[in-house]
Amino acid sequence: MGSQYGLKFAVHLVTNHFGKIVAKVCETLFRKGPLSLGEIIRCTELTPEQVKNSLLVLVQHNCVQAYVPADQFRDEEESTVTVEYLALFDNVIHRLRFPKFLEIAKRQLDDECEKVLDGLLRDGRLTLKQMVERAVQGKENPGAIEAVVRGSFHKLLKAHYVERCPAPEPVVSTLIKAEPAPRKRGSKMAKKFEAPETIEQRVMEAALPGEAIRFAVIEYTGGNADREANSDDTIMVNVGDNSGGIANEGSILWRANFEEFIRHLRHKLLIENERKRLDDGAATILSAILDATKNVEKKVKIEKSVPLSLDSIFTEVTKNEYGRTMTIDRVRASLVQLGCPQRNLDDSYSIDLKNIVEMARNEEVESIVLKRFGGDAYRIFRLLSKSNCFLETDKIAELAIVDKKEAPRLLYKLWKDNYLHMEKLVVTAAKQSRFMLWKVNKPVLWEYVLDEMYHAALNLSLRLAFEQEKDEDLLHVSRDKLTPTDKSGEVNSVQKRYLRLRDVLFLMGSSLMKLDDALMLFHDF
């Protein structure tokens, strides 16, 4: 679940997109956690019809997931079961990133794929039949348009940018499983099943379809449910085949796969960060490794890349124009630069991606400290961040080359603004002495910085909405009157207001997108 300002920002996004009534239902779920329909009605004091319609909207747009708690589920003969609704914080925040998702689809695939994806992002969930009907409505030559839509859908599905919608009401255990007792030292350790940490993770894990059908189209024609999956009762349609129709295209719902887009954006950050820190060669090798293993990654936030042999890495590198200029010795040297000085036991290489993300986070926080507190505070903070241990005030002043009288003031200021952790140490000997020890507690600091970024994004969005509302009358003025037409280039008052509004909206919109990159760095990556 999000932080204080993270929740406020999520509610603001829902308000902008769906209105205040839907936002009130969503905010109640954020604040109180999973609730049943009756509990939501009591908490929001809305009418049952308003709550039901709001939930339908939120489910349609993948902002809420319904589920049945396992302790409520008895057997098939039960007349009713209690369905609870869970607000999905990440999916709400992802709505801010729709322009980035569309740009990825356009750049990697084509314009037609972008149009199909745009329809899914706008409407939340659609069947293939609905996608086709939307595209051919009011158009000439519907047969050709339908073929293009089907082909674009297959491309998106093959790239994993589109997936089947999760189960509508999965049965989920909300109880936290007790950890098994530790085994004796020296015994063979079996792989432990690590239960998801939060109720949201458990619900989504239970709701998502299996990998075998998540990105494929399957028709069940009836028959015994106990038969094997490869029997004649199951028809698999190849997602790369654009010629044939798709079975059950009017009943199977599809949605955009946010996880794959976030994985793509994470890979992009990792590659560009290493390009800036090292060189193009290291970035090319990292890009080749991530491209070769992205379909094998189990989750977005993997700590290390999937192991690959040197020959496999070299084969992937040579697919790139720059990579074809590299020798195998150059590839091996770049792997050393990327933190792989030695091979694994199975003669493979794996890159520490978590370390790259942490370095990027450190740079982001250091830049904030430099802009907010100045160069001396920046050197102090960087010293403590690199040392990763407690240091005494005089020692910090000496190592950071800061005046001893100025250092305590700067340290106190950083501590007061939650950028440093302080401990008081009292030493009792012949004479009692007191020392102030300072340290950067990175996990706590990163959570604080993330919440501050949500606060900044909320303020920026509110200012953006204010500017649009202030000059709302310009939306009803014809475009000809807003653009200077005479050769002198002189503009009237209305045109000046329009030019100002255009520049303000562009500046704030681009700033919000850049701020969102930092939000993903600290939350999604």
* pLDDT (0 to 100) of residue 27: 96
pLDDT at position 488, please? 54
Same domain (yes/no): 303, 343: yes
Structure tokens belonging to residue 426: 């009292």
What count of other Cβ atoms lies within 10 Å of the Cβ of residue 184? 5
- The whole-number pLDDT of residue 397 equals 93
| Residue 285 is assigned to a structural domain of this protein | yes
Nearest to 356 by CA among 341, 338, 344: 338
Q: Residue 489 and residue 314: Cα distance in Å, rounded?
A: 58
Is 293 among the domain residues?
yes
Q: Tell me: do 315 and 272 sit in the same domain.
A: yes
In single-letter form, the type of residue at position 334 comes to S
Tell me the two tokens of residue 121.
């992002």
Reduce the DSSP state of residue 467 to 3 states and report it.
helix
Last-in-domain residue among 351, 386, 418: 351
The C-alpha atoms of residue 23 and residue 17 are separated, in whole angstroms, by 9
Cα pseudo-dihedral 198, 201, 206, 208, rounded to 10: 170
What CA–CA distances, in Å, run from 444 to 191, 217, 410, 412? 30, 44, 20, 17
pLDDT at residue 177, rounded to an integer: 52
Domain ranges, residue 346 = 261-351
In tens digits, what is the pLDDT along the chain, a chain of 525 residues?
678 999 999 999 999 999 999 999 999 999 999 999 999 999 999 999 999 999 999 999 999 999 998 876 555 555 578 899 999 999 999 999 999 999 999 999 999 999 999 999 999 999 999 999 988 888 888 889 999 999 999 999 999 999 999 999 888 877 655 445 445 554 444 444 454 468 888 898 889 888 878 888 654 333 333 333 333 333 344 444 444 444 467 789 999 999 999 999 999 999 999 999 999 999 999 999 999 998 888 889 999 999 888 889 999 999 888 888 898 889 989 998 988 766 666 678 899 999 999 999 999 999 999 999 999 999 999 999 999 899 999 999 999 999 989 999 999 999 999 999 999 888 776 676 788 899 999 999 999 999 999 999 999 999 999 988 888 777 777 776 766 655 555 567 777 888 888 889 999 999 999 999 999 999 999
Are the C-beta atoms of 30 and 89 separated by less than 8 Å?
yes
Same domain, 339 and 396: no
Indicate whether 268 and 339 sit together in one domain.
yes
- Reported pTM: 0.86
3-state secondary structure of 34: coil
Residue 388 lies in a domain: yes
Are residues 401 and 322 located together in one domain of the fold? no
- Spatial contact of 47 and 82, defined as CB atoms under 8 Å apart: no
Q: Residue 430's domain is classified under what CATH number? A: 1.10.10.10
Same domain, 347 and 373: no
Question: Residue 246 carries which DSSP code?
Answer: -
Single out the residue in 351, 386, 419 at which a domain terminates: 351
User: What does the block give as tokens for 399?
Assistant: 């190592």
Question: Would you state the pLDDT for residue 433?
Answer: 77
Q: For residue 443, give Cα distances in angstroms to 371, 388, 390.
A: 21, 12, 16
- Of 440, 463, 483, the one marking the end of a domain is 440
CA quadruple 453, 459, 464, 466: dihedral, nearest 10: 170
The answer to whether residue 167 is domain-embedded is no
How far apart are alpha carbons 365 and 453 in whole angstroms?
11
Residues 341 and 389 in one domain: no
Give the separation between CA 117 and CA 153, rounded to whole angstroms: 8
* Residue 11 forms part of a structural domain: no
Same domain, yes or no: 271 and 342: yes
Q: Decide: helix, strand or coil at residue 468.
A: helix
CB neighbour class for 197 (10 Å; exposed up to 12, middle 13-18, buried from 19): exposed
Check whether residue 265 and residue 333 sit in a common domain.
yes
Same domain, 335 and 269: yes
Q: How many CB atoms lie within 10 A of CB 351?
A: 23
435 and 467 housed in the same domain: no
Sheet holding 84-87, edge to edge: 35-36, 84-87, 64-69, 171-172
Domain assignment present for 490: yes
DSSP state of 95: G
Q: Angle of helix 310-317 relative to helix 280-293, nearest 10 degrees? A: 110
CB 52 within 8 A of CB 37: yes
- 8 Å CB contact between 113 and 131: no
Quote the pLDDT of residue 432: 65
10 Å CB burial of residue 153 (0-12, 13-18, 19+) is: buried
User: Does 436 reside within a domain?
Assistant: yes
DSSP 107-146: HHT-HHHHHHHHHHHHHS-EEHHHHHHHHHTT-S-HHHHH
Say yes or no: 343 and 385 in one domain.
no
- Please give the tally of structural domains in the chain: 3
Residue 190 inside a domain? The answer is no
